[in-house]
Amino acid sequence: MDQTTAIKNLDLSVHPTMYANYYSKWSRRGWFADRVRERVVESFKILRKEYGLLTRVNFRDCQSCAGAEIGTMINNKTQDQLDKLIGYAYWHNQDEAVFKEEHDLTEGAGLYIAFGGLDKGYDKRVKKEHLPEDVGHIIKAVLQGRGLDVEWDGSPNKRIFVNCYYEETEDDLKRGEEAYKKWSKRND
Protein backbone atom coordinates (compact mmCIF):
# COMPACT_ATOMS: atom_id res chain seq x y z
CA MET A 1 0.00 0.00 0.00
CA ASP A 2 1.46 3.37 -0.95
CA GLN A 3 1.62 6.33 1.43
CA THR A 4 -1.33 8.17 -0.11
CA THR A 5 -3.61 5.12 0.18
CA ALA A 6 -2.49 4.49 3.77
CA ILE A 7 -3.27 8.07 4.75
CA LYS A 8 -6.66 8.04 3.02
CA ASN A 9 -7.57 4.85 4.89
CA LEU A 10 -6.96 6.36 8.34
CA ASP A 11 -9.86 6.39 10.77
CA LEU A 12 -10.64 10.10 10.47
CA SER A 13 -12.83 10.19 13.56
CA VAL A 14 -9.76 9.28 15.63
CA HIS A 15 -7.10 11.28 13.81
CA PRO A 16 -8.74 14.30 12.10
CA THR A 17 -6.03 16.83 13.00
CA MET A 18 -3.18 14.53 12.11
CA TYR A 19 -4.90 13.64 8.83
CA ALA A 20 -5.57 17.24 7.81
CA ASN A 21 -2.08 18.48 8.65
CA TYR A 22 -0.06 15.52 7.41
CA TYR A 23 -2.02 14.73 4.29
CA SER A 24 -2.22 18.29 3.07
CA LYS A 25 1.51 18.83 3.66
CA TRP A 26 2.43 15.48 2.07
CA SER A 27 0.22 15.99 -0.95
CA ARG A 28 1.56 19.50 -1.60
CA ARG A 29 5.13 18.22 -1.50
CA GLY A 30 4.21 15.24 -3.66
CA TRP A 31 2.51 17.51 -6.16
CA PHE A 32 5.56 19.78 -6.19
CA ALA A 33 7.92 16.83 -6.75
CA ASP A 34 5.79 15.60 -9.64
CA ARG A 35 6.01 19.04 -11.27
CA VAL A 36 9.79 19.10 -10.78
CA ARG A 37 10.15 15.69 -12.42
CA GLU A 38 7.89 16.73 -15.33
CA ARG A 39 10.03 19.82 -15.93
CA VAL A 40 13.22 17.75 -15.88
CA VAL A 41 11.71 15.37 -18.45
CA GLU A 42 10.65 18.36 -20.59
CA SER A 43 14.19 19.73 -20.30
CA PHE A 44 15.61 16.41 -21.45
CA LYS A 45 13.42 16.57 -24.56
CA ILE A 46 14.79 20.05 -25.31
CA LEU A 47 18.36 18.88 -24.70
CA ARG A 48 17.84 15.97 -27.08
CA LYS A 49 16.06 17.84 -29.87
CA GLU A 50 17.73 21.24 -29.78
CA TYR A 51 21.21 20.58 -28.38
CA GLY A 52 22.11 17.08 -29.55
CA LEU A 53 22.34 15.26 -26.23
CA LEU A 54 21.60 11.60 -25.76
CA THR A 55 19.17 11.70 -22.82
CA ARG A 56 17.72 8.93 -20.70
CA VAL A 57 15.24 9.06 -17.83
CA ASN A 58 15.23 6.53 -14.96
CA PHE A 59 17.80 4.58 -16.98
CA ARG A 60 19.34 1.30 -15.83
CA ASP A 61 19.78 0.30 -12.22
CA CYS A 62 22.87 2.24 -11.11
CA GLN A 63 25.52 4.78 -12.15
CA SER A 64 27.98 2.12 -13.38
CA CYS A 65 25.46 0.21 -15.49
CA ALA A 66 23.93 3.38 -16.92
CA GLY A 67 27.35 4.84 -17.80
CA ALA A 68 28.40 1.62 -19.53
CA GLU A 69 25.14 1.43 -21.48
CA ILE A 70 25.43 5.08 -22.57
CA GLY A 71 28.94 4.32 -23.87
CA THR A 72 27.61 1.34 -25.83
CA MET A 73 24.74 3.41 -27.25
CA ILE A 74 27.17 6.08 -28.42
CA ASN A 75 29.49 3.50 -30.00
CA ASN A 76 26.52 1.98 -31.87
CA LYS A 77 25.57 5.28 -33.52
CA THR A 78 26.11 5.75 -37.23
CA GLN A 79 28.61 8.42 -38.28
CA ASP A 80 25.76 10.77 -39.22
CA GLN A 81 24.10 10.28 -35.80
CA LEU A 82 27.42 10.67 -34.02
CA ASP A 83 28.14 13.96 -35.79
CA LYS A 84 24.91 15.39 -34.32
CA LEU A 85 25.69 14.41 -30.71
CA ILE A 86 27.54 16.62 -28.24
CA GLY A 87 27.10 14.52 -25.10
CA TYR A 88 24.67 12.76 -22.81
CA ALA A 89 22.56 13.24 -19.68
CA TYR A 90 20.65 10.74 -17.56
CA TRP A 91 19.51 9.67 -14.14
CA HIS A 92 19.31 6.05 -13.12
CA ASN A 93 16.84 3.85 -11.21
CA GLN A 94 18.52 4.38 -7.84
CA ASP A 95 18.30 8.17 -8.30
CA GLU A 96 14.62 7.81 -9.14
CA ALA A 97 13.95 5.64 -6.08
CA VAL A 98 15.68 8.09 -3.73
CA PHE A 99 13.87 11.01 -5.36
CA LYS A 100 10.49 9.35 -4.85
CA GLU A 101 11.29 8.46 -1.22
CA GLU A 102 12.73 11.81 -0.20
CA HIS A 103 10.62 14.31 -2.11
CA ASP A 104 8.35 14.84 0.87
CA LEU A 105 11.04 15.09 3.52
CA THR A 106 13.46 17.88 4.25
CA GLU A 107 15.92 20.15 2.57
CA GLY A 108 18.35 18.25 0.38
CA ALA A 109 15.72 16.23 -1.48
CA GLY A 110 16.16 16.27 -5.22
CA LEU A 111 17.34 14.53 -8.33
CA TYR A 112 20.94 14.00 -9.45
CA ILE A 113 21.72 14.09 -13.17
CA ALA A 114 24.82 12.47 -14.64
CA PHE A 115 26.26 13.93 -17.83
CA GLY A 116 29.28 14.00 -20.07
CA GLY A 117 30.68 15.40 -23.25
CA LEU A 118 31.35 13.45 -26.39
CA ASP A 119 35.03 12.86 -27.04
CA LYS A 120 37.34 10.37 -28.72
CA GLY A 121 37.38 8.37 -25.47
CA TYR A 122 33.83 7.26 -26.24
CA ASP A 123 34.34 6.79 -29.95
CA LYS A 124 37.35 7.38 -32.21
CA ARG A 125 34.98 8.57 -34.95
CA VAL A 126 34.13 11.76 -33.05
CA LYS A 127 35.11 14.73 -35.21
CA LYS A 128 34.49 17.57 -32.78
CA GLU A 129 35.03 16.97 -29.09
CA HIS A 130 32.75 18.57 -26.51
CA LEU A 131 34.05 19.11 -22.99
CA PRO A 132 31.92 17.72 -20.16
CA GLU A 133 31.88 21.11 -18.41
CA ASP A 134 30.45 22.75 -21.54
CA VAL A 135 27.71 20.12 -21.70
CA GLY A 136 27.06 20.61 -17.97
CA HIS A 137 26.59 24.35 -18.45
CA ILE A 138 24.10 23.72 -21.27
CA ILE A 139 22.14 21.26 -19.12
CA LYS A 140 22.12 23.65 -16.16
CA ALA A 141 20.92 26.54 -18.33
CA VAL A 142 18.09 24.51 -19.88
CA LEU A 143 16.94 23.23 -16.47
CA GLN A 144 17.00 26.75 -15.02
CA GLY A 145 15.14 27.98 -18.10
CA ARG A 146 12.32 25.62 -17.11
CA GLY A 147 12.17 27.30 -13.68
CA LEU A 148 14.08 24.63 -11.77
CA ASP A 149 16.41 25.25 -8.83
CA VAL A 150 19.71 23.74 -9.99
CA GLU A 151 22.95 23.32 -8.07
CA TRP A 152 26.23 22.52 -9.79
CA ASP A 153 29.72 23.87 -9.12
CA GLY A 154 30.94 23.59 -12.73
CA SER A 155 33.03 20.48 -12.08
CA PRO A 156 32.80 17.73 -14.70
CA ASN A 157 33.29 15.24 -11.86
CA LYS A 158 30.12 16.25 -9.99
CA ARG A 159 26.57 15.49 -11.01
CA ILE A 160 24.01 18.25 -11.45
CA PHE A 161 21.48 18.46 -8.62
CA VAL A 162 17.88 19.55 -9.18
CA ASN A 163 16.50 20.72 -5.84
CA CYS A 164 13.07 19.47 -4.91
CA TYR A 165 12.79 20.88 -1.42
CA TYR A 166 9.33 22.27 -0.82
CA GLU A 167 9.35 24.93 1.84
CA GLU A 168 5.94 25.61 3.30
CA THR A 169 4.78 29.18 3.26
CA GLU A 170 2.24 30.98 5.41
CA ASP A 171 -0.25 30.64 2.53
CA ASP A 172 0.22 26.86 2.56
CA LEU A 173 -0.50 26.73 6.29
CA LYS A 174 -3.59 28.92 5.91
CA ARG A 175 -4.91 26.69 3.11
CA GLY A 176 -4.32 23.64 5.32
CA GLU A 177 -6.25 25.23 8.18
CA GLU A 178 -9.13 26.17 5.85
CA ALA A 179 -9.27 22.62 4.49
CA TYR A 180 -9.39 21.27 8.04
CA LYS A 181 -12.20 23.65 9.01
CA LYS A 182 -14.26 22.56 5.98
CA TRP A 183 -13.60 18.93 6.82
CA SER A 184 -14.60 19.50 10.49
CA LYS A 185 -17.90 21.13 9.53
CA ARG A 186 -18.72 18.24 7.19
CA ASN A 187 -18.07 15.67 9.89
CA ASP A 188 -19.85 17.38 12.82
User: Domain ranges in the chain?
Assistant: 16-186
| pTM summary value | 0.73
Quote the pLDDT of residue 131: 93
**What one-character-per-residue DSSP string does 104-139 give?**
TSSTT-EEEEEEEE--TTT-TT-SS---HHHHHHHH
Of the chain, the percentage scoring pLDDT greater than 70 comes to 67
d(CA 32, CA 77) in angstroms, rounded, equals 37
d(CA 8, CA 179) in angstroms, rounded, equals 15
How many angstroms from the chain centroid is the CA of residue 174? 28
Of the chain, the percentage scoring pLDDT greater than 90 comes to 48
Quote the pLDDT of residue 17: 47
d(CA 147, CA 43) in angstroms, rounded, equals 10
Give the mean model confidence (pLDDT) for residues 22-40: 69
Q: To the nearest 10°, report the CA torsion of 152, 82, 58, 102.
A: 0
Greatest mean pLDDT among 87-91, 146-150, 181-185: 87-91
Quote the pLDDT of residue 19: 44
Question: Treating both helix axes as pointing N-terminal to C-terminal, what angle do 170-186 and 16-51 enclose, rounded to 10 degrees?
Answer: 130
Above 80 in pLDDT, residue 53?
yes
